[in-house]
Chains A and B, each alone.
Chain A
């Protein structure tokens, strides 16, 4: 088991290294200066430009730039954000917890809801309920994230003003609230973005879990469970689910990219101050270092997530636990 962990960690490190190389290539393949879009900005003075050029070694040969780049990355230096006038790492670092909060809530909620729906569907497989739920999950599965977010915004903040329009906290009143009030305020603001992302995630989970359960049901050991006199519900919940959860753990690892992408759009629509919101704004201001920084951090998050999922899988499947 330890060897497996060590091997996966090494793999993850290699992947991050390759990602860094790819982003470097992206930066330098682009036409002109990597930062020409910014440096063409009339608000940036000429001296600043020269300093930045020298600082980033843009006049040095490519291999040397690469080495400096990798070195900087290793130190956690992701460059300077022009639009925020702060280091990229600082901007993204303060925004990251908000995105993580959103993603974790959606992950937990999405998987819980998805597994529940799948269980209901399989317990009544072939019935009308199964098909209706299947249609609903297909619908949400096919919906673009930002469209659902827009609909949710329209429906539940404008037409029926249940939730606040955006942001993480009330911009005016938050400081003046009691502790309980502040918590409630945060929750109210978190609710809609989290709900939207959860619904989208749960659709994918429900579809995969349903398929996984149906895959498991014809197995011989399910027949053995029937022979023992277990009820169908007990069989489903105890024997089938436990085995069908294994592919779902794999799904967990594979769902991070989609979850992150979804978070990006949802943060944009709900003005949720996370990494996605920062990166999306950086696009309009052409703050390239921030965008690249977002790409790198996003990739690292995905790699780490996938690693955690793999380790979880190895733990959950006794056949892999190295017995």
Chain B
């Protein structure tokens, strides 16, 4: 088995706030292979974005990547790399795409300038060459008439086009890994599909690995080959995409899948997982999902579950792996919201 491109071991990113230490990412380990597209799924606050920012070492105080965290990439530990070397990696070997195309581009520079800037910094290209490369890359992202568009300013482009510009910016140096943090959430539904297709195609063409971060299981189903589910700062399940959709193990993953609206189904109400994520300054000692879980029992309330192997490259952080018969004894979750029927 070829060694993975990115290997994260025991990543912990903690925020030292007035209200306490928020352990936003609390012991996360996973790999991303070369040419692979891996998805990280979870609701907001689960730590997926912080994980992405940690990989690129963009965590600002009061946040800090705790010592002992290992982010191995191309033979280096990014968690402890010095600043200059880290900068050489950003935009060059690892790049990132955000969800806010509206505001992610500088309004006072042309779009072409901003894409070309990456090449000027990392490849030392002169203005002319960098500009040409930028136009080429813009063409690859499917922007019509790229030479003209490159001379325009961000406010003259639509949301979908701006996202393509950001994708061009991320790909111009042909990085080994692209992290996409909710790249389509802020876009129209029709544009969403186009952008996702673009990403998948570009990935096939360049052989880049993609780490797709999203809360949308639909995006995951379409673009990724392996999925990681995060909750409360930890990984709670990981499997290939087909395996996860066919046999979700962790109750949280189950809940996520049931809350997806199904076209063709008559539903009176959307299924919602009752309760909310606990505060990151105060993670429960037992299973962190226990108070919202329909199967919880006293073991889960006191013992923090490790990642169990549930077969076929599928792991799950759930004591149901030890006592699977409990799955036949669902009960109302311990936390019930007012006025909401327990699922």
A205-247 Cβ-contact flags toward B at 8 Å (1 or 0): 0000000000000011101111111110010000100110010
Contact A223 B91 (CB under 8 A): no
Footprint of B on A, CB under 8 Å? 219-221, 223-231, 234, 239, 242-243, 246, 316-319, 323
Which residues of B are found within 8 Å of A229, using beta-carbon distances? Answer: 87-92, 118, 121-122
Which residues of A are found within 8 Å of B118, using beta-carbon distances? Answer: 228-229
Which residues of B are found within 8 Å of A219, using beta-carbon distances? Answer: 103
Which residues of A are found within 8 Å of B156, using beta-carbon distances? Answer: 323
Instruction: Report the Cα distance A231→B89, complex, angstroms.
Output: 12
B84-112 Cβ-contact flags toward A at 8 Å (1 or 0): 00011111100110101001111111000
Those of B111-160 within 8 Å (CB) of chain A: 117-118, 121-122, 152-153, 155-156
* Sampled A-B contacts (10; CB under 8 Å): A220-B98, A221-B105, A224-B98, A224-B169, A229-B90, A229-B122, A242-B109, A243-B108, A318-B153, A323-B155
Contact A221 B92 (CB under 8 A): no
Contact A242 B58 (CB under 8 A): no
Q: Does B166 contact A (CB under 8 A)?
A: yes
User: B87's contact among A223, A230, A242, A319, by CB below 8 Å, is which?
Assistant: A230
Interface size of B in residues (CB-CB distance below 8 Å): 29
Q: A318-B155, A323-B153 are in contact. Are A220 and B91 (CB under 8 A)?
A: no
CB distance from A296 to the nearest CB of B (A): 38
Most interface-central of A219, A223, A227, A318 (chain B CB within 10 A): A227
Footprint of A on B, CB under 8 Å? 56, 58, 87-92, 95-96, 98, 100, 103-109, 117-118, 121-122, 152-153, 155-156, 166, 169
Contact A243 B88 (CB under 8 A): no
Contact A225 B106 (CB under 8 A): yes
CB distance from A220 to the nearest CB of B (A): 4
Contact A228 B169 (CB under 8 A): yes
Which residues of B are found within 8 Å of A230, using beta-carbon distances? Answer: 87, 117, 121
Instruction: Report the Cα distance A234→B108, complex, angstroms.
Output: 16
Contact A223 B58 (CB under 8 A): yes
Ranked 4 nearest A-B pairs via Cβ: A229-B90, A220-B103, A228-B91, A229-B91
Which residues of B are found within 8 Å of A226, using beta-carbon distances? Answer: 58, 90
Most interface-central of B87, B95, B106, B121 (chain A CB within 10 A): B106
Which residues of A are found within 8 Å of B109, using beta-carbon distances? Answer: 239, 242
Contact A319 B166 (CB under 8 A): no
Contact B121 A243 (CB under 8 A): no
Which residues of A are found within 8 Å of B106, using beta-carbon distances? Answer: 221, 224-225, 239, 242-243
